[in-house]
């Protein structure tokens, strides 16, 4: 990781336990100061959390030979996340993924959200949670090094009803598991669907081969086809050994350019939601497993939510430079975003994203990194 700055606070922890270090991380163009907290496990895994967007700004992990690399796409400085916007590790809210037309009805009242795509409100609208500066509530080093961040989203923010108090907790243990808890309360009925939008390349961000040579497993017998605006059609289609079948480990690049499948054409590859066999669970269960055969690095994504959006970096077109000046191209990183189903507020068969006073929102997900020998 790049240096965190001259002034840092290290939260003490018992010997041989994860630690947390808080430090300055530059400023935005308007002078707003940004901080970062680095969580370090004894097994060499590090996670840097930035207050801008409550972002997983970096995740370092060793390969099978002990060589450490940052496996997430992003920028080296905070300001670039605003001047060159993309979704690279940020906390997404109020509503992850797309809402058709930016419109939904709740308790008989219609709401119009800000539109940041032609036919949809994506990832919370024009100024979602990813573009806000969160405040640090607490930092601690212990058996699991932890940082808690909070954000207040006022009623009417991006068109959403209700004042929402949101919290994100990142906790890294000594076994390579980064647990992320998303919590939200509202003073009026609203909708909430939060996730993390890290893009991973387990070979190391910026590596020449990209991430499409990784093997992916998604324990889901069905996925959701989309229309031309990438909104789910409402169908839950069996993967049935086709291009969308990841029920067994499969190289991502095997079918990512298979133009015989109209869904691959619409998404420019993979940009779809899988219906996890496990459904909604009280405790996180496996949503996806990603493996880089060359380095031996493995990422397991676990979640309490019913779906996972697999996005293969199809819209990375080489126009944005990221960390260390790397140019990110199609397939250079992939996102595995556990969440409620896209457009749920407009599709009753998908369940409910409703949050109300006395009925808070909670989503726990885990990024668990390891190596195969």
- Residue 193 CA to residue 344 CA, distance in Å, equals 10
197: annotated active-site residue:
yes
DSSP 8-class letter at 193: B
Is residue 278 a contact partner of residue 219, using CB atoms and an 8 Å limit?
yes
User: Residue 333: which of 344, 322, 346 has the closest Cα?
Assistant: 322
Could you give phi then psi for residue 218, rounded to 5 degrees? -130, 115
Could you give phi then psi for residue 140, rounded to 5 degrees? -150, 150
Considering the candidates 75, 123, 197, 363, report the single residue annotated as catalytic.
197
Give the CA distances from residue 204 to residues 66, 240, 257, in Å, rounded to whole numbers and listed in that order. 13, 32, 23
DSSP β-bridge partners for residue 226 = 232
Is residue 257 a contact partner of residue 265, using CB atoms and an 8 Å limit?
no
Considering the candidates 205, 272, 337, 363, report the single residue annotated as catalytic.
337
Is residue 269 a contact partner of residue 253, using CB atoms and an 8 Å limit?
no
Q: CA angle 13-184-288, nearest 5°? A: 70
What does the block give as tokens for 132? 């806000």
DSSP β-bridge partners for residue 133 = 52
Residues marked as catalytic = 197, 337
């Amino acid at each position: 990781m790049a240096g965190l700055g001259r002034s840092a606070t290290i939260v003490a922890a018992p010997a041989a336990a994860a630690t947390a270090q808080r430090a300055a991380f530059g400023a935005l163009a308007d002078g707003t100061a940004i901080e970062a907290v680095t969580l370090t496990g004894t097994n060499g895994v590090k996670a840097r959390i930035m207050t801008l967007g409550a972002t997983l700004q970096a995740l370092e992990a060793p390969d099978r030979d002990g060589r450490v690399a940052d496996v997430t796409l992003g920028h080296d400085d905070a300001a670039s996340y605003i001047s060159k916007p993309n979704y690279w590790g940020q906390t997404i809210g109020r509503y992850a993924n797309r809402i058709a037309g930016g419109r939904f009805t709740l308790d008989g009242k219609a709401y119009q959200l800000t539109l940041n795509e032609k036919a949809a409100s994506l990832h919370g609208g024009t100024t979602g949670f990813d573009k806000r500066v969160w405040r640090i509530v607490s930092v601690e080093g212990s058996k699991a090094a932890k940082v808690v961040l909070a954000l207040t989203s006022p009623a009417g923010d991006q068109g959403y009803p209700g004042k929402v108090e949101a919290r994100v907790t990142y906790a890294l243990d000594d076994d390579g598991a980064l647990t992320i808890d998303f919590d939200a309360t509202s003073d009026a009925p609203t909708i909430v669907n939060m996730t993390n939008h890290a893009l991973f390349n387990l070979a190391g961000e910026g590596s020449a081969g990209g991430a499409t040579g990784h093997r992916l497993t998604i324990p889901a017998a069905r996925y959701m086809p989309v229309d031309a605006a990438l909104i789910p059609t409402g169908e839950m289609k069996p993967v049935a050994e086709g291009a969308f079948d990841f029920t067994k480990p499969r190289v991502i690049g095997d079918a990512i350019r298979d133009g015989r499948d109209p869904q691959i054409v619409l998404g420019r590859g993979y940009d779809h939601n899988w219906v996890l066999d496990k459904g909604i669970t009280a405790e996180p269960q496996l949503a996806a497993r990603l493996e880089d055969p060359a380095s031996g690095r493995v990422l397991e994504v676990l979640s309490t939510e019913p779906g996972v959006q697999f996005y293969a970096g199809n819209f990375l077109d080489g126009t944005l430079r990221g960390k260390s000046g790397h140019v990110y191209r199609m397939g250079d990183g992939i996102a595995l975003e556990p969440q409620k189903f896209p457009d749920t507020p407009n599709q009753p068969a998908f369940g409910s994203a409703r949050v109300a006073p006395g009925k808070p929102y909670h989503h726990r997900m885990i990024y668990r990194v390891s190596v195969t020998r």
